[in-house]
Structure 1
Amino acid sequence: MAGTTLEVTVTMYDHVGGEDALRRLAEAFHRAAVADPQIGRMFRYTGDAHVRHLTAYLVEVFGHGSAFTDEIGGFEHVKKMHADLRITDEQRERFVELMLAAADEVELPDDERFRTRFEEQLRRAAAITTRASRMSQEDLGTRHGTLGRWTW
């Protein structure tokens, strides 16, 4: 058909190179976070489990599968892991900075479309976990939805 364009939608998961790239991102972020004086205390006790869980989280929100929800607990797990951390706004911003630096370190795509959307979604996720870290025990017991997908 002349004049017709076929648009193929590539998921963010495919765009970054799949699970291996997201695992490298989780590893680089975790190393930086543990060593960071501002947020390190929140990550030092988590060890390899944090890398595995963060990888599964990223794989799912980037648009591939549902292992984080099905096997780890999804958003309810996110709430539980951040409960009582009382994350400050400065710590939330530091998380975003370190995650963006880790993306550079592992050479995730740097095209403007991806980086803009990636940073927007990181900031959104960081705001959600910050709120969860400040929830009362009563609020933590209330179901609050699902992870969702990071899309273009």
Structure 2
Amino acid sequence: MTNKSIPTLYEWAGGMPVFEKLIRAFYDKVVLDELLGPVFKHMSPEHQLHVAHFIAEVFGGPKLYSGGEGSHAAMIQKHLGKHLTEAHRQKWVQLLLATADEMDLPADPEFRSAFVAYIEWGTRIAVINSNEKEVQMNPDEPMPKWGWGEPGGPYQAP
């Protein structure tokens, strides 16, 4: 049985406008970064929007990414052969979390725990796959779904 009064991470963050604004501001930093800029300078203008929609969907938002922009398997394929390093991953995480702070994403410990957990998990998967030439994966692999985890919902002040 689920508690319908607990919002999704997507809802708690503020919905799609927040995710699109977050990722736009984040990539403004990425392209200027000495380490990450060369990796991302050739990305298409739609890349930022696709990343925002992917993360939003993972956090319980609408199926904009899987409904027409791509699939989980397609996202995995985009990382193949990119040869990302742990330094790339750490910088990506650092810049995204700094941008989340600047944008005043919810700062309650439960939300941030879930947010950071997904970003850590996803970036580690990206690094692993980026050092592969091929990944055998079901093309219909479902999108990851991320929730509140152990806390079970957002922090509520007494």
Q: Shared topology, TM-score over 0.5?
A: yes
Unaligned runs of at least 5 residues, structure 2: 149-158
Moved over 4 A (4+): none
2:56 to 49, 59, 69: 59
Measured on the aligned residues, the alpha-carbon RMSD in Å equals 1.7
Q: Taking every aligned residue pair, what percent have the same amino acid on both sides?
A: 26
Q: How much has 1:17 moved relative to structure 2?
A: 0.5
Contact 2:73 2:137 in 1 (8 A): no
1:3-152 map, 5 Å: 8-137=5-134, 139=135, 141-143=136-138, 145-152=141-148
Q: How much has 1:90 moved relative to structure 2?
A: 1.1
Q: How much has 1:142 moved relative to structure 2?
A: 3.2
**Aligned amino acid, residue 143 of structure 1:** N
Contact 2:85 2:127 in 1 (8 A): yes
What is the distance in 1 between the residues matched to 2:138 and 2:126?
A: 14
Q: TM-score, normalised by structure 1?
A: 0.88
- Describe the superposition over 1:19-78 as per-residue Cα deviations: whole angstroms up to 9, x where unpaired: 000011110111111111111112111142111111111220110122211212221221
Unaligned runs of at least 5 residues, structure 1: 1-5
**Aligned amino acid, residue 43 of structure 1:** F
What is the distance in 1 between the residues matched to 2:48 and 2:102?
A: 16
Contact 1:84 1:135 in 2 (8 A): yes
- Structure with the largest fraction of helix: 1
Number of residues paired by the alignment?
A: 145
